[in-house]
Structure 1
Amino acid sequence: MTVTPAPYGTPDHPRVAVCGEARLEVDPETAHITITVTARGKDRRTALDDLTRRNAHVLELVRTYGQAVEKLETGAFSVTPELTAGGRDEKIRAYHGRVHITAVLGDFTALGELTTRIADLDMTHINGPWWNLRPDSPAHARARRQAVQEAVQRAREYADALGTHLTALLDIADLGAENAAPLAPMPAAPGSFRASAAYGGAEPETPPALDLEPQRQTLYAQVNARFTMAPPKL
């Protein structure tokens, strides 16, 4: 008859509880940029027409990079009036239009050129890049495996220090899986590039592409594990 060892440990089946950790630095897989297209007009229709034209131009420009762009999404859109300052009556001085666009690139060779071309457009602002890993990146699995291996190694070292050996694995769990406070996710690291296009004037020649160096990402994994070991001779 096989006796299952108690999870809390007994003199016959001592328990050892350990924490396994892993920290990896890996190259990013995607770069996110945010684009804000703006327009200003004395009447609503003028502001809306200019905004529509500039938005279409930005989308067309981004799409010319084909498969280098993995995702292109339009976010918030707004057209708001600007009231005359200091006036008693609510008179509208101008209208401001704004569209937010997000682009995700997986080919970093096109990133520098695209960002400078967007920054060169009128009434257009660009922020980023924010470097990231894909949710299904193999790097996440590598970090988890290393955390498990670290937990097993720690437990073996504790058992070896007592002159004994591990006999069974009781359980293994992600940090936070057992009513513990989960780790806060590490934020995506933003790049230093931020630019605003000029307001009007003659259109300059296409600027040289920025040399953007991808920022390495840090992955962190942690697991809790409990083992039983053979009774040591103390």
Structure 2
Amino acid sequence: MTTPQPTPAQEPAVPYGTPDAPRIAVRGEARLEVDPEIARLGITVTARGKDRRAALDDLTRRNTLALDLIKTYGEAVEKVETGSFSITPQLKEGRGERIHAYHGRVHITAELTDFTALGELTTRLADLDLTQVTGPWWALRPNSPAHRQARQQAVREAVQRAREYAEALGTSLAALVELADIGAENTQPPAYPANPGSRMRSAAYGAAEDTTAAPLDLEPQRQRVYAQVNARFTMAPPQL
């Protein structure tokens, strides 16, 4: 019995080129350091009271105070968002379920683009009673031109590397066969790291001092942008 031969459409493609059209496979990489575009602050406002309503009223007042302060900075603040909110009863020690007090908590996120106002706002927020401030977390926008610049630089490096290989063989590139984006990632820290690099906290008890605290001098953290591509080219047959 004769085994049928595969048709031309069934023949597998040659992955490494042919003597008449040799292929070159290279990788292009780019690493950039650029200034951040945004800074995020995490603000946690807390309150306590002997009953639920007192704790809720106090939390509402402190939350409004923090939001009003943030909004006074106008266009310097690009985004303000309220996150988690909780009212938790605190039980007395001993038997039974006797409630001693209620604790309230609300979390706010502020995103700034004007870093000249960042230090002053951070200090003023941290000066509020029962208010915790964490951050800043520096970042780039998802559509930042830095990402495009890194990708383009990675492609140019891949072309240059392939051209150098071809020149070493005494020939030149003929055509681009494939360009694969195998990952381009920004190494900026997450929005809420477990151990933030800087942490500020206001006094938990007592009234704030009459004098305003001096603004913090916050230096923006440079952001690292990384891009990587794989590329395959054909070249003219070299004379070996």
CA distance in 1, matches of 2:181, 2:197: 34
Partner of 1:29: 37
* 2:88 is the alignment partner of 1:80: yes
1:203 pairs with 2:208: yes
Q: Of the two, which has the highest radius of gyration?
A: 2
Aligned counterpart for 1:231 among listed residues 207, 215, 237: 237
Partner residue in 1 for 2:78: 70
1:111 aligns with 2:118: yes
In the other structure, the counterpart of 1:178 is none
What is aligned with 1:147? 154
Whole-Å separation in 1 of the counterparts to 2:36 and 2:184? 21
In 2, the alpha carbon distance for the partners of 1:41 and 1:49 equals: 9
> What TM-score comes out, normalization by structure 2 length?
0.89
**2:149 aligned counterpart, secondary structure:** helix
1:185/1:134 Cα in 2 relative to 1: closer, same or farther (>3 Å)?
closer
Q: CA RMSD in A?
A: 1.7
1:188 deviates by 2.2
Secondary structure class of the residue paired with 2:16: coil
CA–CA distance in structure 2, aligned partners of residues 69 and 155 of structure 1: 46
Q: Match for 1:20 among 28, 43, 57? A: 28
List alignment gaps of at least 5 residues for structure 1. Answer: 176-181
- TM (norm. structure 1) is 0.91
Residues of 1 paired with 2:206 and 2:49: CA distance? Answer: 17
Q: 1:185 deviation in Å? A: 5.1
2-structure distance, mates of 1:161, 1:78 = 67
Residue 7 of structure 1 and its aligned partner are, at CA, apart by 5.4
Measure, in 1, the Cα distance between the counterparts of 2:207 and 2:154. 57
Q: Residues 115-152 of structure 1: CA distance to partner in whole angstroms, max 9, x if unpaired?
A: 00000000000000000111111111110110000000
Contact 1:143/1:221 (8 A) holds in 2? yes
Task: Report Cα offsets for 1:131-175 as digits up to 9, x if no partner.
Answer: 011111111111011000000001001111111110000010110
Q: Note if contact 1:113-1:210 (Cα within 8 Å) is conserved in structure 2.
A: yes
Matched with 1:188 is: 189
Matched-pair identity in %: 68
- 3-state SS of the aligned residue for 2:43? strand
Partner of 1:214: 220
